[in-house]
């Protein structure tokens, strides 16, 4: 629409990138997969905030507390280690 009005050389496309914290990712994915909210909340509460930043997901899944919760909820997780 604007390209016709102003010409292709005078119009630009704007892109915005954003990131989600590991807690937000777990909540969104859990909701989509139908994981009970209590399980999601238990997981997200055990992901620490260090110096105002939430621990990245790749580090959070290695935490003993998180591994224990995942193993308790799904026996296949324990076998994957």
Structural domains of the chain, count: 1
Is 49 domain-assigned?
A: yes
- Whether residue 42 contacts residue 73, with contact meaning beta carbons closer than 8 Å, is answered with no
Residue 26 lies in a domain: yes
Report the mean per-residue pLDDT for the chain. Answer: 84
Predicted local confidence at residue 49, as pLDDT: 87
User: Does some domain include residue 2?
Assistant: no
Q: In whole angstroms, what is the distance from residue 72 CA to residue 27 CA? A: 18
Q: Flag whether 69 is in a domain.
A: yes
The mean pLDDT of 51-72, rounded to a whole number, is 86
Residue 11 domain flag: no
Structure tokens at 13: 């496309």
The reported pLDDT for the residue numbered 76 is 54
Domain enclosing residue 42, as ranges:
19-80
């Amino acid at each position: 629409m604007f390209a016709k009005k102003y010409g292709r050389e005078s119009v630009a496309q704007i892109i915005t990138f954003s990131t989600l914290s590991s807690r937000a990712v777990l909540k969104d994915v859990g909701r989509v997969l139908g994981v009970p909210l209590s399980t999601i909340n238990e997981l997200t509460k055990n992901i620490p905030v260090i110096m105002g930043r939430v621990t990245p997901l790749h580090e959070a899944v290695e935490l003993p507390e998180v591994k224990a919760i995942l193993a308790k909820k799904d026996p296949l997780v324990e076998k994957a280690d």
